[in-house]
Chain A
Amino acid sequence: MILPIALFLAQGMLAFALLFACIRMMRGPRAQDRVLALDTAYVVSMLLLMTLGIQTGTVFFFEASLVIAILGFVATVALAKFLMRGEVIE
C-alpha cells in the first residue's frame, strides 16, 4: 500500500510549510507580516490535522480542524482590526 508513504511525505511537506510560516513569524520586519504568518500557520496546522485524521481513520479530527479554522478567522480579523485602529472593540 502506498498510502502510508504518501501520508508521511505529505505530513513532512506540511511540517516544512509550518516551519517556514514560523520563521516568517519570528523574522517578520513588521507586525502585519507576523499576523499574516500566524494566519498561514493556522491554515497549515488545520491541513496537518486533516492528514492525521486520514492516517488514523477516525472522523474526530474533522471537528478539531473546523474549530481551528473558525478560531483562525476570528483571531486574524481581531488582529487586523487591532493593527488598524489600535483597539479591538470600540
Chain B
Amino acid sequence: MKDILNFNSKIPVSSLPNKWKDHKSTLKLVSPNNRSKIEIIVVGTGLAGASASTSLSELGYRVKAFCYQDSPRRAHSVAAQGGINASKNYKGDNDSVYKLFYDTIKGGDYRSREANVYRLAEISSNIIDQCVAQGVPFARDYAGYLETRSFGGTKVSRTFYAKGQTGQQLLLACYSSMSRQIKIGRVKMYNRHEMLDLVVVDGVAKGIIARNLISGEIERHAAHAIVIASGGYGNIFFLSTNAMGANASAIWKVHKKGGLFANPCYTQIHPTCIPVHGNYQSKLTLMSESLRNDGRIWVPNKLEDVIFIRNGSKKPKEINEENRDYYLERRYPSFGNLVPRDVASRAAKERCDKGFGIENNETKEGVFLDFSFSIEKYGKEKANELGIQEPSSLDKQKLGEEIMESKYGNLFHMYEKITNDNPYKTPMKIYPAVHYTMGGLWVDYNLMSSIPGCYIIGEANFSDHGANRLGASALMQGLADGYFILPYTIADYLSECITEKMSTKHIAFQLSEENVKNRIQKLIQNNGNMSVDFFHKKLGNIMWKYVGMSRNHVGLYKAIKAIQELRYEFWKNVFIPGNIDDGLNSELEKAGRVADFLELGELMAMDALKRNESCGSHFREEYKTKEGEALRDDVRYKHVSIWEHRKNHLISDEIMHKEDLNYTFIKVQPRSYK
C-alpha cells in the first residue's frame, strides 16, 4: 500500500494573491458558437447547483438540472439562516481579504487548502454585489447601505444577512435567475428526479442514470460534463439539521465509480440547535449562530439549581447572576459567546457531561441561550432615541423586544412553535447537533474530481472548510463555486471535447442502468419485517455515539463492527411496501439512500480511526490538552486523507492516500480563542 499518490491538485505556482488571477489566464476557452453544442448535467439545485446552472447557461452552454424535490426552490440551502460572509470592510473594522482568509483557515484548524480558501475570500465581495443586483433584500441601515453582523470565530462584522432567512433569499435569487434560463430554453429542469449512478466511459464521466420519482422510470442522460452539487451527508446521523431528503447517494455513487473521497470524518456539530425531545423526533432544528451576537450562554453553577430548573420549581430568571456559569465567557474571554462552533459545542457537552444540563428529559442535555441582556440594552437605547425619560422596565422590555423581532423574528417564532416557550420572555434551550459535513469528494483546484469530466461543488466537495466550518461560510462557498469558479474552470476541460456527445446507447449506460434496476428490484422484493427508518435510526445512534462530537479508538472500532452488522441486517430484513411499477414510492427512495449511508458510515469511522489527532470538529478523546482543548498533530496529520474505493471490494478494503497540505502564506499555529 502506498501512502502518497501523485495527486495533481493543479494548484497554481504563483504567489497566493495572484494564484487565481494567473490561473485564469492559463485556462483554455470554449468559443461562444461552440458552447450551445455542449451539454452539462448539474445534479442538485441548492446554492451551488442553481448558481452553476445559471452561470453556465448564461455563458451559452446547455444545462440539464436535476433535483429530487418538486421544485428547485426547495433545496436545503433555503434553510440557512444567519448570513453570508464577505470581506468588504463596510464597517471600517479593519476587515480585508487576508483577514477573511486567515479566519477561515484558522477556523478550519489548518486542515483546508490554502489556495482554495484564499480564492474564496477574494470572490466573496463579488457575491454580495451580484446578489444585490439580483434583488436580494439584504438588511439595510438607516442610510440605505448594507448592514452586517458578526459570527463565531471572527472579531469583525462581515456577515451580510436578510433577517434569519438569508439562505432562502439567496436561493430564491439563484432559482429566479435559473428560471430565466429555463424560459430561454438553455436550462432544462428535471424536478422529482434522483441520480442513481454515474456513467463512466473509458475512465471519463459521460452521463448519469436517474429515476423519475413520480413514474418510477429509469432514465439515461448523457452529457459532456457532469457537475455534482448534491450537498452534504449529515443525514447519516438520522437526527440532524438537514432536510429529510438530503442524502449522499449522488456523491457515493461517484465514489464507487472511482471518485476519491476526502476527509469523510469531518462533520460539523452546530452548537445552537433545539435539544432532542424524544424518540419520535424526525429531525433537529437549528437556531442561527447569529443569535450568539445577542445571546449569552449559561447553565446554573450549582447542581441543586439544575434539579430545580429541570423539575420546573425554579424559572431561569430566578437564578441569580452569581449562581450562573457563563462558561464560554469564562473559558474564552477574548471571543466569549462568539467562539467557533466546534469550541462552543464541546464546551456545552462538557457542562452537560458534568451534570449541568437543563433539559427535563432522559437526555438531561441542553444549555440556556439568554437574550434578556440584549433586550434590556436595546430597550434602553431605543428609549433614549425616542426621548423617553426614565423608561419603565416594561417599556424597555417592549422596545427591546421590537428590536429583537426585527433582527431575528422568524427564529423566535420558529422556536416558540416547536417548544411552546416564548424566547422573548425566557431563555432558549439549546444543544449541539449535526449540521454540515466538511468532508466530501476530492477535487483539484479546478473543482474536478478524480474522474475527468465530473466536477463537485459546494458542500459535496471537501476543499474549503478543513476540519471545521465557520458560520456564514457555506453560503459563500456554494455561490463562489457555482457563480464564479466552475464556469471558468470547466471550460478548460470542455475545450478539449467539443466532439459529439456520447450516445446513451453505449454499453456503459446499459450496464449502469441494469445495475440500478437490479438494486431496486432487490430492495423491493426483500420480504423483511422492518422499516427503512428503523435501520436509519439505528445507524444514526451508532454514528452519534461513536463518530459524533467526540470519538475514541475503542468506540470507532465498535462503530465499524456495528455498522457492518447493521448493513447485513438491513439487506436481510428491510421491508418496502409496493411494487416496482407503482411509480412514486417514498419508502423505496429512502431505502436506496439509507443503503448508501450504511456504507459511508463505515468509511467515516475508518477515517476517524486513522486520524490520531484532534482537529476542529474531529475530536479524539486521546488527543487533548490539559484544559481539554483539541490537540492537533501537525507533524503527522497535516494532510487530507483520501479514500479510494476498490471495485468489487468491501468498504473495509478501501485504500487511504494523502495529500499534503502546504501553507506558504500563513504560519500554522495552535488555535486559541482565549
Same complex: no
